[in-house]
Structure formats: C-alpha cells, structure tokens
Amino acid sequence: MGLTSRPLLYAMGALAVACVGLTLRLWPRYAGRGPRALLGRFGAIAVTQLAIVATLGLAVNANFEFYASWHELLGLYDGAPAAVGKWGKGGTTGPVGDPSKGLVQPSGPDGLDKVHGLPKGRPDRAGRVESVRIVGKRTRVVDGAYVYLPPQYFQRQYARQRFPVVVALSGYPGGTFLLGQHLRLPQTAAGLIRSGRMQPTVIVMMRPTIAPPRDTQCMDVPGGPQAETFFARDVPDALRSHYRVGHDPGGWGVLGYSSGGSCALQLVMRHDRTYTAAAALSPDYKVSNDPTTGNLFGGGKDRIRRRQEHDLMWRLAHLPAPGVNVLVGTSRTGEKNYPAAKAFLDAVRPPMTADSIVLGHGSHNFATWRRELPAALQWMSKSLTFPEDLVGNS
C-alpha cells in the first residue's frame, strides 16, 4: 500500500484501536510487581503509543503530502545527489528521464486528484491544471509539477500569444500538492483572472528540493544536486519547449512561501536574465547548513565565497543590485522574520525595487499565506509583461 493511501491509514487506525482495546482488557493481568508484570505493562504502553503515533503521522502526511512515497520517506533514491554523474551511462536513469521524449512529459496524478476546488468544465471557460514531469536538459533531473493553464490559453483570440509564467515553489518538506490543496494557488489565480484582477498567467507549481528527502535550498551543491541550474535554466527551457509562454525575462516571475520564498528571492537576485519578479512569503534571506541540507557549500577555498553569495544581505551590500522587482510578505507579530524582512527591504536600492505585505499578526502557516496570496498574485500580475509576443515572432 502507498504511503498516502487510504487503505493504509484505515488499517493503521484499526490497529491502533485494537491495541487500545487489548491494553484495557489485558491490563489486570499485569497488575503485579514482578519483572513479567512490569515488562507486560511497558510493552502494552509502547505498542499502543507507537500505533497511535503512526496513525496520526500517516493522517498528517496524507493531508499535507510531506512525503509522497515510502522511497521519499526512507531516502531510498539510489544516490539522488549523484544523478548527474549517472546520466547516460547504460540508461540507468530509466525511460521517464529521457529528454528525447520531451522536456515536459505527462505524469500520473501525483496527488492532483486529491486537490479540491480545481477548475472544472471546458478548458476555454474554466482553464485546466495538468500533472507533468519536467526533465532537465542540463542537470538530467526529473521532477513533478502541476501546471495551471488559464481559460485564455485555449481561446481562439489568444491562439498566437505567449503567456507570462509564475513558477511557484512550496516550502520544505512539503510538496506540490500543498500548493494546490492548502495554499489554493490555482483556485485563487482562477478567481482573480475571472474577475479581471489578474492577467492570464501560466502557473507552474513545484517543490524546491530535487533530491528528497534532502533539502537542496535551490542551490548547486558542489558534487551534489544542481538545483539552482534546474530552476534557473532547465525549468524555463522545458516550459518554453512545451507551452505557449514568454521568451523574455519580463514575462517570468517566481513565487514561494517559507523555504520556497527563500528560493524565489535567491533565483530572481542571482538570475535576473531569467526571472524579473519574485514574491516571497515568510522567506529567509540567507542559506545555511542544517541536518536536512547537509553540506551545501562544499569545501576548499571557495566555500566562504559560495556562502556569502547566497546571503542576500551580503549581496545587497557588496554586489551591484539587479534590475528586478521583489515582494516580501511578513507579519509584525506571530513570526520571527519581521526584523529580517525590514532589514532586507531597507537595504534594497535601485535599480532593484521592493514592496511588502505586512500583516499585524500572522503565524508561519497556510492561514497566513492564503491571506497574502491574492495581493501577491495581483502584484505579480502588474510586474510581468502580457501579451509579451506572438508565436512565430521569436
């Protein structure tokens, strides 16, 4: 049974209930003071607690899809950080990662069938959300995505026009599913487009790690996953090869929450020839090593330079400001990131511009990010160019 399957959750729930019942029934037998009685009570408590905790863990994971499979949970990805080195040697990556079959390939639901409130009906009236796999032309990374296509994408009067793109990144360890089910990104965008408050935009929803369960922080790790190259170069190339989207950086933005917001700022400030706008909800402003990331900066004399270049405050103080637009979402109380957000916004200088969404109170959760999302999408809509160009012009 799959890690997020209902039968597994129900079976574990039934086991937990049975353990509780057995503990209540057998408890009098272990009422004595001898070693056997003590071990019996300890064993009954341990097994019952384990069953209950496992049930709760499965329920939370099924709802939020932090891990979509047993392989992700256990980290059994056959040396995912070394995938680049393996590519092309005897076909060990499997057919799904073959670029000759397209850089955007159809995929199974990957949780999309569990997302509530997605557009329904004719695509030219309601739009459509697709589940796909994106294949990196350079990195050979294969990663899943949901792609929201607005109704105008299917309408005759827009048949030759390219659309702006927002690449949306979830937090860690959450996956693409959370962008649809809990952030409600495609549902919110569809409503804004329908009411005329947002221009028609293609939204590509992804998770920020390319080597789960490791948190790759959208970085090119020396000797490891090349996440930055994947999101800055491979993903745009793949989308342009498959969808009718813009070729100019003015039509490309990146949005994210939590660690996905951190990635959004990193990508736009480091790759202003790919993305020109970033909306970051509750981000961090520098990359640091922790138990989920491992060593992101490698060794040798370049380690300090790599660490500095991924510190956005250091970049603002020591490097030329890029000509990009950023939006930062934060809360005065309820989160710890307000002082850092204020310092970052104060440090921005031309030609870079910065705006903010500042709530009076908001915690580091989806309730806060859903409040910020409509304003962030409308800000992004004003920052991106549409229509950018006509199909066939370049």
HEC profile of 252-297:
EEEEEECHHHHHHHHHHHHCCCCCCEEEEECCCCECCCCCCCCCCC
Instruction: Encode pLDDT of 51-86 as tens digits.
Output: 888 888 777 766 554 555 565 555 443 333 322 222
At the topology level, CATH places domain 85-383 in Rossmann fold (3.40.50)
pLDDT along the chain (394 residues), means of 10: 69 84 79 76 83 79 55 44 28 46 89 91 95 94 96 95 96 90 96 96 95 90 94 97 94 97 97 97 94 89 92 96 96 91 96 95 92 96 82 62
Question: How many other CB atoms are there within 10 angstroms of residue 40's CB atom?
Answer: 17
Predicted confidence at residue 239, as pLDDT, reads 97
List the domain boundaries for the chain.
Answer: 6-63, 85-383
Give the pLDDT confidence score for residue 218 in this predicted structure: 92
Query: DSSP code of 28?
Result: G
Tell me, what's the pLDDT at 260? Answer: 96
Cα(193)–Cα(136) distance, integer angstroms: 30
- What pLDDT is attached to residue 47? 85
Contacts of 14 (CB under 8 A, 6+ apart): none
Instruction: Please tell me the pTM assigned to this model.
Output: 0.78
